[in-house]
Structure 1
Amino acid sequence: MKVEIWSDIVCPFCYIGKRKFEQALQQFGDKEDIDIVWRSFQLMPDIQPKPGQNTYAMLAETKGISQQQAKQMSDHVTTVAAEVGLTYHLDKAVVANTLNAHRLTHLAAKHGLQDKAEERLFTAYFTEAKDINDHEVLAQLGTEIGLDADEVRQMLQSDAYAEEVKHDQYQARQVGVRGVPFFVFNDRYAVSGAQPSDVFLGALQQSWSEWKREKPTVLASADAAADGAFCGPDGNC
């Protein structure tokens, strides 16, 4: 059964939502039969980072708030992340356009490594303060998850997968995505935001029971919502 997740690499609640969904998946008895597909969503597709600009300055500029307010918002998100075992260093995060990072996830999907790519990119951005728009950084990250560095470099030097990223965002508009993370279960049920894990578990169980009734032959051969915290398209988290 398919679960699609619209997400952006620089969305703090997307990484938190990933962890909460994974907690639910660990409790789900048929987790091996869940096909997770990551979909690209850019919160700030036109952002052009300024040299030396940190996340506090960027947030202050884009949201029209003070840097102190931006720091308080970031501190809150860091605390929420810690509750699910994640370490955020938003004071050191490198402001970046995420198009190239999303293109890397599509290349990774071709090799069955998309979930690993998402995890590695999240860690690189939120914990390690890496520039996820830098080609050499992305080549290194790709190598770490099992991709060929030269293939990653060649992809980045072209426009490969740019259309796939755009198509994901087109699909997001079609299904009514207003913020990320956004989860769609079996093309039928949606969960918006970094919900508690029991919400994700309930969605898995409900969509699985319906999918099982609709796909009995597939199963036989294989075996023989209130919004949570999210980031909006203007970068609002």
Structure 2
Amino acid sequence: MQVEVWTDINCPFCYLGKARFSAALAEFPHRDDVEVIHRSFELDPGLPSDTSGPVAAKIAAKYGISEAQAEANERGIAAQAEDAGLTYLTSGRDYGSSFDMHRLLHFAHEQGRQEALLDALYVANFAAAAPLFGDSERLVAVAVSAGFDEVAVRAVLGDPTAYADAVRADEAEAAALGANGVPFFVFDRKYGVSGAQPPETFSSVLQRAWSEREPVVQLIGSADSDACGPDGCAVPGV
């Protein structure tokens, strides 16, 4: 079974949703047969690559609220993150263009290590005080810390066309599927789940998608009817 997850590194609920989905997947009996693919979605695709600024100011401007309200919202998310076992800094973080990060995630997918890079990017953004956006050297350091070859990472970042089409294709597909926010989970292209739902919701959808992938045969009639089995065939009248 395949689960595709559209996310953005800027999105705190993507960070939280990944943890909740992972908790559900860890308890799923068929977890080893589930392929998880992380796909690209930019919350603010128009940002220049060198953009960086404080998160609270960005949230306040985007939603027309005060910075105090934005900071209160951040504290609320931090409480949810703590419940999920995640570290979440409520101040000192920045925001910016995630396009290069998505390009690197496609590179990591080719290496079979997409999950490792995504986790490293989430930690760098939400659990570390050092600015993440608008600084290619910081991005290189995060990727290298996740076990990726520095020369290969720099080659991807140095070529603005590398994996760019793959990122845009993911974003176009999200739009076609009707996803206007993230996280957005798609199970075997049959069920979509929007938002950082509780683990129980993800568990339910995993089970439902799996059961429909492997339908249970319904027995009609008596199990005692004449039939042949490993021990031979029933003899009429005996």
TM norm structure 1: 0.85
Superposed CA RMSD: 1.8
Identity percentage of aligned residues: 38
Aligned to 2:141: 140
* Cα shift at 1:79: 1.1
**Residues 52, 96 of structure 2: 8 Å contact kept:** no
CA distance in 2, matches of 1:63, 1:180: 17
Of the three residues 137, 157, 164, the one matched with 1:162 is: 164
**Larger C-alpha radius of gyration, 1 or 2?**
2
CA distance in 1, matches of 2:163, 2:122: 19
**3-state DSSP of counterpart to 1:191:** strand
Between the two proteins, the alignment pairs up a number of residues equal to 214
* Cα shift at 1:51: 7.8
* Cα shift at 1:213: 3.9
**Residues 100, 133 of structure 1: 8 Å contact kept:** no
Runs of 4+ in 1 over 6 A off after TM superposition: 49-52
CA distance in 1, matches of 2:66, 2:48: 20
* Match status 1:80 vs 2:80: yes
Aligned to 1:149: 150
The CA deviation string for residues 133-192 of structure 1, in whole angstroms up to 9 with x for no partner, is 422222222222222111110110112011111110100011110211010001101111
* Cα shift at 1:49: 8.4
**3-state DSSP of counterpart to 2:192:** strand
The CA deviation string for residues 177-229 of structure 1, in whole angstroms up to 9 with x for no partner, is 02110100011011111111011011111111122249xxxxxxxxxxxxxxx
After TM superposition, the structure 1 stretch with the greater mean CA deviation from structure 2, 132-141 or 163-172, is: 132-141
**3-state DSSP of counterpart to 1:89:** coil
Over 3 Å counting, the alpha-carbon distance change for 1:133 and 1:117 in structure 2 is: farther
**3-state DSSP of counterpart to 1:6:** strand
CA distance in 2, matches of 1:49, 1:96: 7
* Cα shift at 1:92: 1.1
Aligned to 1:230: none
**3-state DSSP of counterpart to 1:190:** strand
After TM superposition, the structure 1 stretch with the greater mean CA deviation from structure 2, 140-149 or 155-164, is: 140-149
CA distance in 1, matches of 2:170, 2:53: 29
Aligned to 2:176: 174
* Match status 1:60 vs 2:60: yes
* Cα shift at 1:48: 4.4
**Residues 17, 195 of structure 1: 8 Å contact kept:** yes
* Cα shift at 1:62: 1.8
Structure 2: runs of 5+ lacking an equivalent? 217-238
After TM superposition, the structure 1 stretch with the greater mean CA deviation from structure 2, 140-149 or 196-205, is: 140-149
**Residues 52, 134 of structure 2: 8 Å contact kept:** no
* Cα shift at 1:58: 1.4
Greater helix content:
1
Match for 1:163: what amino acid?
A: D
TM norm structure 2: 0.85
CA distance in 2, matches of 1:74, 1:49: 24
Structure 1: runs of 5+ lacking an equivalent? 215-237
